[in-house]
Amino acid sequence: MHLAARLPAAIAISLIALLPAPAADTHAIPQAVPAAARADYFQFPLPTWSKHCLGFGSQWRLCDGTPLRTCPSTGAVWLHTGFDVTTGIQPVRAAANGVIVGYLVDPTFKGGVLIRHQTATGIVITQYWHVWPRPGFSVGTPVSRGQVFADVANMGSRTHLHFAVFRGDMQSLAWRGALPPAPCAGDPAFPYHFVDPTLFVLANQVPAPPVRIKGHCHLDGEL
């Protein structure tokens, strides 16, 4: 049985309600975060990386074009903070060494997980939506880069993975799947601390080994 199925119904919240503020009964960062190996390098959480419907900075809409949230005063559509990956149900791997610091369950959008990474340049939070954690993985569990910690949730024809990168330590805004554009008042405007997750991973991958070109020594008189 999935971990989500065993959780109290009280933590099942709607993602729309989640966006303005964190729910009071969500699983969040514990008082003492277990030590985790420093995140020197990152990788993509899935073996393939093609866009589903929304990329970083896309208007936050369903694939049929229906807006999920707009600014009341202007009607501007909120902007997507992550990258939606086309996928079936398959294992999800941690993008880097870190510790799980957040877990939410939503009746429509399934599970959300946050992993905190200590890097040489500061704290980074990676966000995974529409996943179910595997047994043994919960808030406070350390993970290593490439370790399977969850599976993509079955959302029927809308099955996909949402992956985001938040530069900064744990806070309620690290859960956001979208942020308002600048004309909206009362919220930090897009992108806040979110960065393009595809470009971030590409810039922080394990360096490729150098290409060694074997030379050929010519003897005197040899062409």
- The domain spans of the chain are 3-17+34-203
pLDDT confidence band for 218 (50 / 70 / 90): low
Q: Residue 90: pLDDT above 50?
A: yes
Q: How far apart are CA 72 and CA 69, in angstroms?
A: 9
Residue 107: which residues within 8 A CB-CB, separation 6 or more? 12, 14
Query: What CATH number does domain 3-17+34-203 carry, 2.70.70.10, 3.40.50.1100, 3.30.470.10, 2.60.40.10?
Result: 2.70.70.10
Q: Which residue has the tokens 């997507």?
A: 80
Which amino acid is it at 191?
P
Say whether pLDDT at 3 is over 70. Answer: no
* pLDDT of res. 213: 73
β 110-119/98-106 pair status = antiparallel
**Whether 54 contacts 60, CB under 8 Å:** yes
Mean pLDDT confidence for 59-81: 95
Whether 180 and 18 have beta carbons less than 8 Å apart is answered as: no
The Cα angle at residue 52 between residues 4 and 18, in degrees rounded to 5: 40
| Farthest-apart Cα atoms in the chain, separation | 85
Q: What share of the chain is helix, strand, coil (3-state, %, to 5)?
A: 10, 30, 60
Burial (Cβ within 10 Å: 0-12, 13-18, ≥19) of residue 132: buried
What six digits make up the tokens of 125?
Answer: 């939070």
pLDDT tens for residues 174-195?
A: 999 999 999 898 899 999 999 9
Check: CB of residue 120 under 8 Å from CB of residue 99.
Answer: no
Which pLDDT score, from 0 to 100, does residue 60 have? 97
DSSP symbols for 112-180: EEEEEEEETTEEEEEEEESEEEPTT--TT-EE-TT-EEEEE---GGG-EEEEEEEESS--GGGG-SEE-
